[in-house]
Chain A
Amino acid sequence: MRNFIFGVTTSFILLFTLVVEVHAVTGVTQSELNKYLVMKPVMRGSFVQQKKIAVLKKPLFSSGVFVASEKQGLYWQQKSPFLSETIVTHDFLAQRIKQGEVNQYTFEEQPLLVGISRIFLAIWKGDMSVLNMEFESTINFSDNKWKMVLVPTNKMMKKMISKIVVQGSEYIEQVRLHESNGNLTDISITGVTGSDKLLKNESGLFSWP
C-alpha cells in the first residue's frame, strides 16, 4: 500500500541520449582572426558548393546565395540544381524544399544535427568562442589572406569530421569540410557585401519557419 501510493506520486523514466557538451580550449583568438576578417551585422553573398562522396561517379555541384545575420542566424538558399532553403540558428534548424513542407528540428529533438549546425553557423559568424570549444585551431597569414585549420578535439566529433579548413581575406572565401569517412565538402564564396541591418527584400527570408 505504502509503496503503491508513493509509486503513484513519483515516477520517472529516464533514458539517455548523446550530445556533445562544449568546453573551451585555447587556440586562435577572436582578435587574431578579426585582424583581417571584417565582421558586419549582416553579410550576404553567393556560394558554389561541391560535395565529393566516395561511391558517386562525380561530385554533387550546387550553388545559391546566403544571408548571415548576427541576430537571426544563417539563411542558405540553394538555387541549383533545385530550390531548397535552410535556416540555421542557435536553437533550431529549418529546411524546406521547393517551397514545400517545412521541416524544423530543435536542439532537443535532434541534438546532433542542430549541434553540427551550430558549428556551421559559428564558421559564418567567425565566432571563435564556439569553434575553440570543439576544435584545435591554428591560423596562417600571408599578405592580406588567412587560412585557419580546425581539428576536432572531441572523440565524437573526430568520428565525423577529420578537419575543417577556412580561408579568406576581408571576408570568408572558402570552407573545406573533410569528413572522417572520406567525403569532402568544398564551398566557395564570392561577392560578399556587408551592412548594418537586413535589406528590405531580405527581411522576409527568415520568416517562414
Chain B
Amino acid sequence: MSLDFSPGLKAKVAFYIWLSLFVGLAGIFSSYVFRGIPVESNIMALLPETHRDPVVERAWDQFSDNISKRVLFMISGEDAISASTELEHKLKNTGLFSSVLFRINKSSEKESGVFYLPHITRLLSDNDRNLLENKNASVIYDRAIHFFYSPISSVHPDLLVKDPFLLFPEFLNSIPRPKAELGRNGEVFFRDNNGVKHYSVTANIKGDLFSLVEQAKLESVLNESTRYIESKYLSIRILKTGAVFYSASAGARAKAEISTIGVGSVVGILLLIVIVFRSALPLLMSIVSIGFGILLAFVGTIIFFGKIHLFTLVFGTSLIGVSVDYAFHYFSTKLEHEKNWTGWHAVSHILPGITLGVITSVIAYLALALTPFPGLQQLAVFSSIGLIGAFCTVVISFPVVSRHCITSRSLLLNSAKIQLGFWQGKIKYILIVFVALVIVNIAGWSQLSVEDDIRLLQPPAADLKQQEKKIREIIKQSYTNYLLVIQGGDSEDVLQKEEEVTSLLDKMKGDALDNYHAISKHVPSVKRQSDNTLVIQEQVISPMLNKIATELGLMDSSIESIREYWNGNQPFLKLEDWLQHSSSKANQYLLVGNINGKFASIIVLEGVKNNHVFEQMEKNISGITYINKTDEVSDVFREYRQRITWMVVAGYGIILLLLTRRYSLKKAIIVVLVPAIAAMTSVAMAGLTGLPWNLFGVLALILILGVGIDYTLFLAEARQKYESTMIAIWMSALTTILAFGLLSLSDTPAMHTFGIILFTGITIALLLSPLVVMADQKIKR
C-alpha cells in the first residue's frame, strides 16, 4: 500500500480548467438571475407540442385569469349593509383592486331593454323559436291575449303597436341572469334556502399575482379588513372565497413545512456529516460538487432548450443531489486508511465504483429522454449533466483541495459491521427476510390503487373549502371548470356554431350539465336574427295580426304601422355594439376574439356530470374544443406515470446488460436486484398503507434506482474494503432520507407520497445492499 498518487501536471491543469469553468458558470448563472431566469411553470408545457392549440390555450388563459383574480365576500346579519359598505370602501382604498362592487346602478336592467329595443323584429326567445318550429304559433297568440287581460300584467302602449304578440318581453326574460337581487340602494344580495340575505362584495385583483410575496400581502390585507369589519359589527357573519385565499394558504403551508421539514433535514444532514467525519470539510466539498453539478446542468439545459421548467428544477435538483454519495465514498476511504491517505489515493480507490455509479444513474435518467414528453427530456438532460458535473468535481478538485483533513473513526462502523455480519451469517435468517419480503409484496401489490388527480398538488384547506361550498349553495352555482372553445373564421361564424352547440346543450340541461353561459344567448348570429324575422312574419304576423287586432280592438292605424314595421328592414344587433354596451361587461370574458386570423369564443359549462357527451361533441362538430382542465392535467399525470414506470423498468434492464460485461451474470443480477426489490417493496408499502399510487411515487422510483444501484455497485467495487464502503452507503442513505424522506411528513399528498416511497425504498436498498458481498464470497469459495 505504498502507491504514491501525487498530483501530476495533468491533474493540476484539469483542476484549473475545472475552477475557471466553475467561475464562468457562476457568472452566467448570476447574469440569468439578474435578467430573470427563463422559468416555465405552465404544466401544459410538459405535454408534447401536438396537444396544444394556441387559440385554445389563449381561451383557457383568459378564462382562468378572469376567475383567479376574483375575490368574493358574502356578509349576512343585522348590520350586513353597513358592514358591506365599509368593507367596500376599505378594499377600494387599498388600491390593490381594479374594481370593488357592492352596489349596482339600478337602471341597468332598463338600459339592457332599451339597448335591445331597436332590434325587436330580430329577436326571439329559444322557447318561442321552438314553438314556431313545431307550428305552435297559437300558443303564442293565447299567451299574448291572456297577458292583455291579466290583472297583474302591464303592456306599454308603445310596445303594443310594434310587438302585439309580446315576443320581445319573452326574449328579454330569456336572457340569462344570475340569482342576485338588488336592495333599495342597489346593494347586491342573494337569499339562501332559509331566506337569509347574504350581501355580496366582489373585488377584482389588479395586475398579475405571480409571486408568493404579493399573494401573501394581498391575503393579509383582505384578512385584516374582514377582521376589522367583524370586530366592528359583532352581529355579522362573513364568508369569503377566491383563488388568492387558496394560494396564500398553500404558500403559508409550504412555508411552514419548509421551515420544519426543510430545516429539520438540513440540520440533520449537517450533524450527521460533522459527527461522522469530525470535520466541516466533507460538507463544504459536497456542497461544492452538487453546486457545480446544478450550475452546469442549469446552463446546459437553458442552452439546449432555451428555458427551464419548474418541474425540471425541482426534481432535477434532487436527482443531482444523489451525487453527494461520491463525496461520501471519497471521504470514507479515509476512515480505513489513517496513515498514508491522500486524496489521490482515495480517488483511485473509488474511481471504478463511482464511474459505474455515474454511468448507471445517467442511463436511468436518460431513459426518460426517450419519451416524447418535453418535460421528461428536459429532466433527463438536466440530471445527467448535473451528475456528470458533480462526478468531475469529485475526481478533479477533491484531491487538490482536501489533501489532509479528517482523522476520525466513525460511529457508523459498528452498525456497518453488524449489518455485514448478518448477511454473512446463517442462511436461515436471510431466507426469513426474503419470505417476509415476498409476503409484503404480494399483499401490498394486490391492494395498490392508482390515483392521478391534479388535487394531489393541492394542500388541504378544509375551512376555505367549507366556505366556498356554502357560498356556492347561496348563489346556486356549481363548479365551472369546463369550457367549450368555439373557433371560426369570424364572429358570425363563431356565433352560428355556438347556436348549433347551445341547441344541443339545452337538451342536456339538468342531465349532463346544470347550466351554461354563452355569448350567443346575448347576441344571436346575424343568420339567426334574419331567420327570426322571417319565421315571425310567416307564422305570427301574417296569419294572426288581423285576428289579434280584432280581438283586442286595435286601432286601424296601429295595424298598418305594425305591418310596416315588420316589413321594414330593421337593423341587426351587432356583436360590436353589444361589446360597447355596459350590460355586456359581466359577460365579455366569454369572448376570446381574434387570434392568428381566427375568431374564438368560450362557452362555460356549469356542473358537468358527463364528460363523454362533450368529448363526443368535440369529435362531431368541427371547430369546437372541449376543455376539462382538471381531467387534462390528471391525464398528463397518468401518462407521465405510465411512461416513467416503463422507463424505470427499461433502465433496470439496460443497466443489467451493461453490468454483465464487467461482472458474472449472477453478480450483475444481485447488483440490480437489490434496488429492484427495494422499489417493488416500496410500491407494495403504498398498497399496504392505503396510499394512492401516482406520478410522484414513480418519480421516487427513479431516485431509488439511481441511488440504490450505487449502494450495490460500490460494494461490488469495494475490493474487500466493505466496512468503509458500508459507512459511505449509510451516510448516503441517511442523508437521502433526511433530505427527501422527511417529505413524508408533508400535508400535500404529492409530497407525502414521494417521501414515503423514497423512505421505504432507500431503507430497504440500504439494508439489503450487503447481498452483493455475500455473492462475492460465495464466488470465492
Contacts and interface: CB of A to CB of B under 8 A. Distances in A.
Interface of A: 1-21, 23, 49, 51, 53-58, 60, 62, 76, 78, 81-82, 84, 86, 88, 93, 95, 97-98, 100-101, 103, 108, 110-111, 113, 116-117, 120, 154-156, 159-160, 177, 179, 181-183, 185, 187
Contact of B247 (A3, A53, A54, A100): A3
Contacts of B481: 7-8, 11
In the A-B complex, the 9 residue pairs with the closest CB atoms: A6-B243, A7-B64, A18-B109, A54-B157, A19-B181, A11-B67, A57-B553, A17-B177, A6-B246
A54 B160 CA distance: 10
Which bucket holds chain B's interface residue count? 35 or more
A21 B139 CA distance: 33
25 contacts: A1-B42, A3-B64, A3-B68, A4-B42, A4-B64, A7-B68, A8-B630, A10-B246, A13-B67, A13-B517, A13-B589, A17-B178, A19-B182, A20-B182, A21-B181, A21-B184, A81-B149, A100-B142, A108-B179, A117-B152, A160-B154, A179-B154, A181-B154, A183-B157, A187-B151
Contacts of B158: 181
Given A7-B67, A18-B182, A57-B554, A88 B109 contact: no
B621 interface: no
A1 B636 CA distance: 13
B372 interface: no
A53 B184 contact: no
A4 B209 contact: no
A51 B475 CA distance: 39
Nearest to A57: B553
A60 B184 contact: no
A154 to B, nearest CB: 7
Contacts of B72: 12, 14
B70 interface: yes
A8 B68 CA distance: 8
Best-surrounded residue of A15, A23, A54, A179 (most CB of chain B within 10 A) = A15
A14 B65 CA distance: 15
A21 to B, nearest CB: 4
Contacts of B178: 13-17
Given A3-B243, A21-B181, A21-B182, A116 B553 contact: no
Contact of A17 (B146, B182, B241): B182
A98 B139 CA distance: 11
A190 to B, nearest CB: 16
Best-surrounded residue of A21, A81, A100, A101 (most CB of chain B within 10 A) = A21
Contacts of A110: 173
B184 A154 contact: yes
Contact of A55 (B210, B465, B558, B589): B558
B264 interface: no
A165 to B, nearest CB: 14
Given A81-B149, A181-B158, 18 more contacts: A3-B68, A3-B210, A4-B42, A4-B68, A5-B246, A7-B65, A8-B630, A9-B246, A9-B468, A13-B477, A49-B151, A53-B148, A55-B160, A97-B146, A117-B152, A154-B184, A177-B151, A183-B155
Contacts of A76: 151
Given A16-B178, A60-B148, A154-B184, A6 B68 contact: yes
Contacts of B110: 159
A150 B553 CA distance: 30
Best-surrounded residue of A2, A82, A182 (most CB of chain B within 10 A) = A2
Contacts of B176: 15
A11 B108 contact: no
Contacts of B243: 3, 6-7, 9-10
B309 to A, nearest CB: 10
Interface of B: 41-43, 63-65, 67-68, 70, 72, 104, 106, 108-110, 139, 142-143, 145-146, 148-152, 154-158, 160-161, 173, 176-184, 187-189, 200, 202, 209-210, 241-244, 246-247, 250, 310, 454, 457-458, 465, 468, 471, 475, 477, 479-481, 517, 552-555, 558, 586-587, 589, 604, 629-630, 633
Contacts of A84: 146, 149-150
Contacts of B157: 53-55, 181-183
Contacts of B106: 18, 155-156
Contacts of A6: 68, 243-244, 246-247, 250
Contacts of B151: 49, 76, 86, 120, 177, 185, 187
A8 B479 CA distance: 8
A187 B150 CA distance: 11
B592 to A, nearest CB: 16
Contacts of A3: 64-65, 68, 209-210, 243, 247
Best-surrounded residue of B152, B154, B479 (most CB of chain A within 10 A) = B152
Given A17-B181, A86-B150, A1 B67 contact: no
B457 A10 contact: no
A100 to B, nearest CB: 8
Contacts of A62: 149
A11 B554 contact: no
Given A51-B149, A62-B149, A56 B246 contact: no
A156 B182 CA distance: 12
A15 B586 contact: yes
Contacts of B156: 181
A21 B191 CA distance: 12
A14 B209 contact: no
Contacts of A12: 67, 70, 72, 241, 471, 475, 477, 480
A56 B177 CA distance: 34
A11 B310 CA distance: 25
Contacts of B553: 56-58, 60
Contacts of A58: 553
A160 to B, nearest CB: 6
A109 to B, nearest CB: 8
A96 B745 CA distance: 65
Contact of B152 (A15, A86, A154, A182): A86
Contacts of B104: 16
A108 B475 CA distance: 11
Contacts of B67: 7, 10-13
B480 A13 contact: yes
Best-surrounded residue of B146, B209, B465, B477 (most CB of chain A within 10 A) = B146
A31 to B, nearest CB: 27
Contacts of B310: 1
A1 B180 CA distance: 32
A181 B157 CA distance: 7
Nearest to A119: B152
B552 A60 contact: yes
Contacts of A97: 142-143, 146
A193 B629 CA distance: 64
A5 B152 contact: no
Given A4-B64, A7-B68, A116 B152 contact: yes
Contacts of B149: 49, 51, 60, 62, 78, 81, 84
Contact of B202 (A14, A78, A103, A187): A14
A58 B157 CA distance: 13
B604 A17 contact: no
Nearest to A76: B151
B546 to A, nearest CB: 14
B475 A18 contact: no
Best-surrounded residue of B42, B151, B475 (most CB of chain A within 10 A) = B151
Nearest to A114: B152
Nearest to B587: A15
Nearest to B180: A16
Contact of A10 (B41, B173, B468, B586): B468
A111 B109 CA distance: 12
Best-surrounded residue of B68, B106, B554 (most CB of chain A within 10 A) = B68
Contacts of B247: 2-3, 6
A113 B155 CA distance: 12
B42 A183 contact: no
A51 B217 CA distance: 63
